[in-house]
């Protein structure tokens, strides 16, 4: 059997990672694919999310806090390194499943995933060829041009750190109007439009900085299309799936392992 495709979900706290993992798992299952979920967030508290493999079996935030006498933030940082120590046990647990897809929910705070050396070790230990990172753009930040530009930089930072294929996702798009979604997509496609919007956003625009920033974005993050999705209204999931396939199979659609056939 082919190695499963592994999708890591990252983005700022509250961007909708856990909800997206749940919605996308359900979509893949309904489409006939085998999919399992892995929770790597030791602080995950979304009740509807029952991951198949859960890091909390090995690393629990309250226990890290009391054992090392740390507050919640310190405990998150310590936990990120403790996860790396347990990662081969996590991999063994994953290997007990035969599956097409592994969806990985990552720690709530993007910096714990993007900036800890241990995260790179985790990703290397868990998956080889067929993996990608989905970076979720929170609509609350993406609505303003400067917020969107900042997220583009963050997404580029994640790509720079992991050197894995990236898919940028506009999450919770149900909270935006169609016009807002259209504007955000345009910022992603036309750096000039983003530049104009960023500079008109700022009360005293630092034009030189903004211009350099937009140039950097243009070269760093040629955004291969931002995919608007909503876990609440279950939209964009098929588009996201197709984008996954373009990464995993070079554009070819995989046969679902037990999908109902049309005959
Ligand atoms: N309107 C709307 N809210 C969402 C959607 N996805 C998640 N949320 C809400 O956004 C908040 C954060 O979601 P969560 O999945 O926990 O984000 P995470 O911190 O990135 O894992 C929760 O209150 C969710 O109910 C969505 O597609 N639409
Ligand atoms: Mg979460």
Q: How far does residue 149's CA lie from ligand 1's centre (Å)?
A: 21
| In a domain? residue 143 | no
Predicted confidence at residue 186, as pLDDT, reads 92
Would residue 154 count as lying in a domain?
no
Number of domains into which the chain is organized: 1
CATH number of the domain where residue 96 is located: 3.40.50.300
* Low-confidence residues in the chain, pLDDT < 50: 251-252, 254, 257-263
Backbone angles phi, psi at 36, to 5 degrees: -125, 160
Confirm whether 244 is domain-assigned: yes
- 31 burial (CB, 10 Å; 0-12 / 13-18 / 19+) is middle
Q: Which of 11, 12, 19 to mutate to test the pocket of ligand 1 (most atoms within 8 A of CB)?
A: 19
pLDDT at 2: 74
Q: What is the dihedral of CA 40, 5, 236, 135, to 10 degrees?
A: 50
Per the domain annotation, does 64 fall within a domain? yes
CA of 213 to the centre of ligand 1 (A): 29
Provide the 8-state DSSP code for 230.
B
- Is residue 25 domain-resident? yes
Q: Which residue has the least CA distance to atom 6 on ligand 1?
A: 16
pLDDT given at position 21: 97
Return the pLDDT at 144. Answer: 92
Ligand 1 pocket residue status of 229, Cβ below 6 Å: no
Q: Return the residue matching tokens 């056939």.
A: 261
Range of the domain at 72: 5-138+164-175+225-249
192 falls within a domain: no
Q: What is the pLDDT of residue 210?
A: 67
Q: Please indicate, yes or no, if residue 147 is contained in any of the structural domains.
A: no
pLDDT at residue 213, as a whole number: 72
- 173 burial via Cβ count (<10 Å: 0-12, 13-18, 19+): buried
Does 80 reside within a domain? yes
Pairing of strands 53-54, 166-170: unpaired
């Amino acid at each position: 059997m082919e190695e499963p495709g592994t999708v890591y979900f990252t983005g700022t706290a509250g961007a909708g990672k856990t909800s997206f993992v749940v919605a996308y798992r359900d979509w893949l299952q309904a489409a006939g694919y085998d999919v399992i979920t892995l929770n790597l967030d030791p602080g995950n508290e979304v009740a509807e999310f029952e991951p198949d493999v859960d890091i909390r079996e090995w690393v629990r935030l309250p226990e890290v806090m009391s054992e090392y006498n740390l507050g919640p933030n310190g405990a998150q940082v310590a936990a990120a390194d403790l996860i790396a120590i347990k990662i081969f046990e996590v991999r063994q647990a994953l290997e007990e499943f035969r599956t097409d897809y592994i969806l990985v929910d990552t720690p709530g705070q993007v910096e714990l995933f993007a900036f800890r050396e241990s995260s790179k070790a985790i990703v290397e230990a868990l998956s080889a060829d067929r993996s990608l990172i989905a970076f979720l753009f929170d609509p609350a930040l993406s609505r303003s041009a400067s917020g969107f530009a900042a997220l583009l930089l963050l997404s580029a930072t994640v790509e720079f750190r992991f050197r894995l294929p990236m898919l940028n996702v506009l999450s919770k798009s149900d909270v935006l109007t169609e016009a807002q979604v259209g504007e955000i997509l345009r910022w992603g496609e036309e750096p000039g439009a983003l530049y104009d919007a960023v500079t008109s956003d700022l009360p005293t625009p630092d034009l030189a900085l903004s211009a350099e920033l937009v140039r950097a974005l243009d070269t760093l993050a040629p955004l291969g299309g931002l995919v608007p999705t909503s876990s609440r209204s279950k939209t964009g999931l098929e588009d996201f799936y197709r984008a996954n396939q373009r990464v995993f199979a070079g554009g070819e659609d995989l046969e679902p392992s037990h999908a109902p056939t049309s005959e």
